[in-house]
Amino acid sequence: MRNALCYVLNNARRHAARLYRALLDPFSTGFWFDGWKETGGRMPEALAGREEEPPLPRARTWLLTVGWRRRGLVGMAEVPAAVRI
């Protein structure tokens, strides 16, 4: 699950690294993600105190809320690993 989150949130770094110089991919839901290593597992300051609703519903399953964190928080500059065959 942690690898899937890293892929979804940071995939632009792998495929379009030159296009995205911003810390967070502006086309992902990374601004609402509360599992960034750099923020200590809190939502980034860019949204702190704002009343803007996330574009997706909050996770409800154990794996998406708690379980994946056992492998460590996701780094904002972490690039998803390539598929190994």
Burial class (CB in 10 A: 0-12, 13-18, 19+), 50: exposed
Domain range annotation of the chain: 2-71
Residue 29: the pLDDT is 83
* pLDDT per residue as tens digits for the range 30-76: 888 889 898 877 776 655 555 677 788 888 999 999 999 999 999 88
Residue 64: the pLDDT is 93
Cα dist from 23 to 7, 36, 42, 50, 70, whole Å: 15, 11, 15, 19, 24
- What is the value of pTM for the model shown? 0.75
25 and 9 Cβ atoms separated by less than 8 Å: yes
